[in-house]
Structure 1
C-alpha cells in the first residue's frame, strides 16, 4: 500500500484495555479504516496510507493489519491493486450489498421463506417508485421480457429454468427502474437467491407458471399506467404467492403468510 495520506486525528490508534479481549486487533483495523471513510478523510477511489504508517497509527502489527484489510476487501469496501496499493472502492450499493447475496445463498430451503418475507416488504415499494419513474424504453423492455416468458409457456414441455430467468429479469428491471440503488442492489441479491423456492412452486403447484405470467402482466399494466398504488398491491400479491406456498411446504411462517394474504384480499384491485 503506497500513499502519503495521513490518518485523521480521531482515528483509533490501538485497542484500549477497556475494550476487552473480545475486540480483536483486526477489528481495530476495520474500525479505524471505517472511521477514515465516514469522516471524509478517505473517499471513493482514495488510496490507503502505506502499510507501515497505517499499522503504526492504529497500533497493530502487519498480520492483523492485513487481516482487517482482507475483511474489508471481501465486504467490497476496499480493493487491492497489484503493485499499486489498496484503494477505497466506488462504494456503490451493488458492490456493498454483494455479501447479502452470499448470505441468501447459504440459507436452507426452510429458511428461504424469511427471504421471501423481506422481498414482500421491499418489492412492492420498489414497484410503486418505479411506477412514477419508469420510461417508455424500460416499459418496452419489460414487455419483451414477458413476451419471451409467454413463448416459453407455449411449448409442450415448459422450460422451467427459462421461466425463472424471465421472472428474475423482470423483477430486476423494476428494481432498477425504481431509481433507488439500494432497492435495486438488495432485490437483485434476493431475487436470484430465491430462485429455488420459485422453481419448487413451479414444479409442485398446478398452473403456477401461468399464474405468475398473469401477475407479471398485471404489474406491467400498473407500471404503464404510472399508478403507484396499484403497482404496489399487484407486486405484494405476486410475491406473497411464492412466500405462502414456500411456508406451506417447509412450515414456520404459515400464520404470517396467511395473515398477510387475508389482509391483501380486501385491498386487491380487480384483474386488469
Structure 2
C-alpha cells in the first residue's frame, strides 16, 4: 500500500547514509504533499491544472480516513499547493512561494507590528542584491511601462484633489523585478506589499514625502532606460533611506 511505502521512508529519517533526494522527500512529513511529489506525472491534467483522484480513492491509496485527508488537504490549500473545488474535485496548483509567505508574514505582523520593520530590512537587502540581475532582464516595453507608471503617479499627485499613487508605487517595484525568474525572491517581494498595506503605510503621510519618493522613482526609471543599472541601484538605496526615515517616524523609534 502507498501509505506503508511512505511510512517506511519516514522511519528511515533517523538513519544515515541516505541520498540528498531521499532526505528532501522525507522532510515533507505530509502524506498528501509526498503523494503529489511521487505521483505528479500520473495525475491527470485538466485545463492546465492536475486533478487529484477522488477523496475515496486517495483515502484508499494513503490508508487514512476522510477526516485526516481533509485536514491534510486544507493545510496544503493554505500553502497554495492545491485548490479544492466543491462538487468538482481537488487540483494541484503550479508552484507558488508567495501564498504561504504572505499568510505567515501577515500573521506575524498581526502579532507584533515590529515584525513588519524587520521584514522591511530583509526586503531592502533583497532588492538591492538582485537589482542588477533583474533590471538587465527588463525589455524595452517594460522600461517604457516604468516611465508611464511614474507619469501616472505624478499626475495623481498633481491633481485636484491629490491622490496617493499607491498602486503605482507597488506596480513600479514589482515590475522592476518581474523578469528576475526567481520565484522565491518574487514571492518575498510581493508579500512585502501586502504587509505594507496591512500596517497602513499606503495611507496619506506627507506631501513632501511623496514628492521626494516619486522624484527618486523617476530617476530610477531614467537610469534603467539609459542602461545605467549601477546608477539606478544607487538611487534605489537612497530611496530606501527615505523610506527608513519614514518608518522610524511612524514606529516612534530612533
With normalisation by structure 2, the TM-score equals 0.75
Q: Quote the residue 2:82 is aligned against.
A: 78
Separation in structure 2 between the aligned mates of residue 239 and residue 150 of structure 1, nearest angstrom: 19
Q: Quote the residue 1:259 is aligned against.
A: none
CA deviation vs aligned residue, 1:99-136 (integer Å, no higher than 9, x gap): 32233344144432122112202222343223211111
Paired residues, number: 231
Matched residue SS, 2:186: helix
Residues 82-101 of structure 1: matches in 2 within 5 Å?
82-91=86-95, 93=96, 96-101=97-102
Residues 4-153 of structure 1: matches in 2 within 5 Å?
7=2, 10-12=5-7, 31-39=30-38, 41-43=39-41, 45-91=49-95, 93=96, 96-106=97-107, 107-108=109-110, 109-153=113-157
Provide closer, same or farther for how the CA distance between residues 247 and 111 of structure 1 changes in structure 2, counting only shifts above 3 A: farther
Matched residue SS, 1:226: coil
Provide closer, same or farther for how the CA distance between residues 86 and 47 of structure 1 changes in structure 2, counting only shifts above 3 A: same
For residue 173 of structure 1, report the CA deviation from its aligned partner: 1.2
Separation in structure 1 between the aligned mates of residue 56 and residue 186 of structure 2, nearest angstrom: 39
Separation in structure 2 between the aligned mates of residue 144 and residue 236 of structure 1, nearest angstrom: 22
Provide closer, same or farther for how the CA distance between residues 215 and 192 of structure 1 changes in structure 2, counting only shifts above 3 A: farther
8 Å contact from structure 2 (residues 152, 168) kept in 1: yes
Separation in structure 1 between the aligned mates of residue 156 and residue 74 of structure 2, nearest angstrom: 44
With normalisation by structure 1, the TM-score equals 0.71
For residue 70 of structure 1, report the CA deviation from its aligned partner: 1.5
Q: Unaligned 5+ residue runs, structure 2?
A: 15-27
Q: Quote the residue 1:224 is aligned against.
A: 225
Q: Unaligned 5+ residue runs, structure 1?
A: 1-5, 20-28, 255-272
CA RMSD, Structure 1 to Structure 2 (Å): 3.3
Q: Quote the residue 2:184 is aligned against.
A: 182
